[in-house]
Amino acid sequence: MAFENLYQRLVEHQIITIKDDTDEDSKYAKNNKQARDMALAQIENILRNATNLMSDIRTGIDVEPWVAEKITLANDYLNTVVEWTAFRVQSDE
């Protein structure tokens, strides 16, 4: 459930804003749309992996220190992106 909320928030805040597709900006818009599509695919993959990992941990697998470190690092990176998108949305208003 928490990951669905994260996904909805990231989609809602649009990590990457796409400019209008005018003649002078068409190349930028195309590249930006590709970057946005790739980011969304990666977020979907993060959600799948996190859901599987949560399930495994809930069933009682051991979490070794290096695994806990990687989870903490991934969480820190995602928090940074979410905070950046929230700031960006606020500054656009």
Domain count, the chain: 1
Domain span including residue 53: 2-92
Length of the chain: 93
Longest dimension (CA), the chain: 56
Q: Is the pTM of this model over 0.75?
A: no
Q: Which of 4-8, 70-74, 80-84 has the lowest mean pLDDT?
A: 4-8
In tens, the pLDDT along 32-51 reads: 888 889 999 999 999 999 99
> For 44-73, what is the mean pLDDT?
96
Alpha helices in the chain (DSSP H): 2-12, 26-58, 65-92
Q: For residue 85, what are its two tokens?
A: 């998108």
